[in-house]
Structure 1
Amino acid sequence: MLVEQSVQFASLSDIGFRRQNNQDSFAVHICKDREDWVRRGHLFIVCDGMGGHAVGELASKLAVDTIPHAFQKSLEQDAKTALLNAIVDGNRVINERGTQNREFERMGTTCTALALGSTGVLIGHVGDSRAYRVRGSQIDQLTADHSLVWEMIQQRRVHPKDASSIVPKNIITRSLGVEPTVNVDMEGPFPALSGDVYVLCSDGLTNLVSDQEIGVAVRELAPADACRFLVNLANLRGGIDNITVITVRLGAMPEGVSVDGIPESEAREVNRRSFARLAWVIAMVVSGVFGISLVINGPDWRAAGLALIGLSVFLLAVGWIFRRSHVKPTDKAGIEADSMATVLWRPYRTASARATPELIDRLARLHAELQKAAREEEWSIDWPEHDDLMQKFTLATMEKRLSRAFRDLTKVIGMLMSGVQAQRRRLKRESRWGSVRKPNDTSGG
């Protein structure tokens, strides 16, 4: 990625429907000049505090204040090391504050930080907030949850389908600030390609919205619209926690700008290697099987059969040597010696980011329930505009233009959601001050 590429981004944090305060925090730092870009790059952070009352709010705020400053301050280090040290510094600041006041003891926060710079995408991660990448029609989870449920799934102690009903989702195994030291997961650098969309979010979103829904939303909608729709969707499904989302979309290269030095498409590289590996396996298996069959058929074919078997063994040896020679060297701590080398890897989870009939139907049923409540309770909705959008949605669905149908449906859900929020404000006001009634007209002649 080059500094000339446009970057569209949006962020939104919502208290949800059940919490009294918002313990999530986020930060966005956009480079002001080329020097800043080359040295560090853009930085996006989402933190989800824990500890009850204002304690979690303080922990997440300390993290998003400390980490960007420390990241920019480390002028002599490469970006990956600087991001790691900045997160460790954030852990130190939170932990020290916690030890100074008994009320703040063991306060902590998750932290997912994404740096987007000249070397690609770097991620530093602690906790169960997440980073995703949407590329083409696929959404990849780039971070592993540091939670009890994920650890039990990885240890195969529970099946993923049963995990949510057996293991509590809210137990995390790693966070910033609780202990004096912290183990930070570092991911990347990964190639950053035109059209990629990156998502950082707290578990208030991912506990209620599926990976596919996140992927389709950020793929089909502008960043600000995607953030608003995802928050609306989580709230409509209960809004049991604070919800924070950042979406970042990479634009195309401007005309006349050289693309020299941009990493080759990861997908193209993976496909090339996969094809070569498949061809090697086929050649090895065919030569081995055919050679054995010739040996079995009789002495006249024994020499040719042994030659083919030898070829199969040779291909196996070459493949083993090639694989060994391409393993990245590591230092004593197990960290890659070339910390800024592009990493080709498999994501922790992958899902489709395409709008499907099943997804459209699920959202349409949610809209129908919302529309029924809006009409029965006489919410203040622009019904002519709503009905016009629904006609467009119905037509797009009949013509199987699912992307268009999805966009139209998100608009009408957004309209009704504004009615939900207005109703909530009215009920909150009435619970505090009582129902407001117009005085009777006492004027007389």
Structure 2
Amino acid sequence: MSVTETLNEGLKRGYDILITAKELAETVDAKLKEAQPNVEIKGFRKGKVPLAMLKKQFGQQVLGEAMQESVDGAMNAHFETSGDRPAQQPDVKMTNEDWKEGDDVNVSLAYECLPTVPETDFSAIKLERNTVKASDEDVKEAMANLAETAQEFEDKKKGSKAKDGDQVVINFLGKVDGEAFDGGQADDYPLVLGSNSFIPGFEAQLVGAKAGDDVEVKVTFPEEYGAENLAGKDAVFECTVNAVKGPVAAELNDELAKKFGAEDLADLEKQITARLEEEYKGAARLIMKRDLMDALDKLVDFELPEGLVTAEANQIAHQLWHEENPEVEGHDHPEIETTDEHTKLATRRVRLGLLLAEVGQIQEITVTDAEMQQAIIQQAQQYGPNAQQFFEFIQKNPEAQQQIRAPLFEEKVVDYIVENAAITDKEISKEDLQKAVEALED
């Protein structure tokens, strides 16, 4: 076996690998001999099948395996000897397409190397860490919003007309083409007007109704409605208004606090203060992380694999196109061309990604099983009753696991760099924090 270099330009590498017919035949014989003790063929005792018969019956299959193992072995030996780390899956092609058994095997190997990332003095990076204290006004507003979520409804004065925000208690019977349909009937149903919890147009027709009124509500089911037999159909709902109730905000007291798991009102206030400041802390971290990435982008420069940059630019262009065309869910769309702006952003992402990966490897930063489990549980909570299906999907899908692991790894590397950077704490207002967060989106 021989490996001949054909290209060494920047990060690009090319090699011709020659596997002789003799080497291949020896590998085939070795594999057949290894299997021989366990092979049993009619007319021969187990382990006594002649090698020539094994080669005749299984030779072609083993030859294919031997070729693949030989190529893989040559590649692994080359990477171990050279120290190269391919940036992407190498391009491996058999060049003698007219190959037949007994011929040498010629293979071309092409790839781009991962670059050497220069050592960086992170102490040269200067960052501001913003801190925001939850003001009394912020806490009062948050508590008022909490009380609003716990609001109840009380009967309004007799003869009062329902308005948006009121709750109407109704009996209703829905019909399509004069026929009642499944799921279209209920008694004493509490419906908050303006909540948009019913078919579009339904709630608006109950505005102005009084207790005791009979109202005929005419609507059209949406084309994308879940029940196919109703999608796009005109319907009439015969409604009787049993009561009209107005919202009453819950009173902020110890009783309400206990409903939200606090010991008393003072404890609830402490919890809300802590939650607000934790939210501010998270927002401040986003700002500092962007500042850190900007600093690293200016501080560190090295050659990048063209293939990685091109792939990232294509992904950015594709994602932005779908954001601008949300009605297209699949990939049946015109070819999306990348722009200089896409390539510029891709270059930054690839450079910073390689830098963070290198720092993580050098510092032996890892994501623990416990950290992964916690992250998976947090994501699973978003799926409600389908959480178990999400768990099973993650367990069977290494790529999905990596999508969860990657940001966790990145955050831990960022923490390491921040610990070694020059940090100045700065207290700012909530308004200034909000402006800084909004600027991140520009």
Task: Tell me the TM-score range normalised by the shorter chain.
Answer: under 0.3
User: Which structure has the larger Rg?
Assistant: 2
TM-score normalised by the chain length of structure 2? 0.18
TM-score normalised by the chain length of structure 1? 0.18
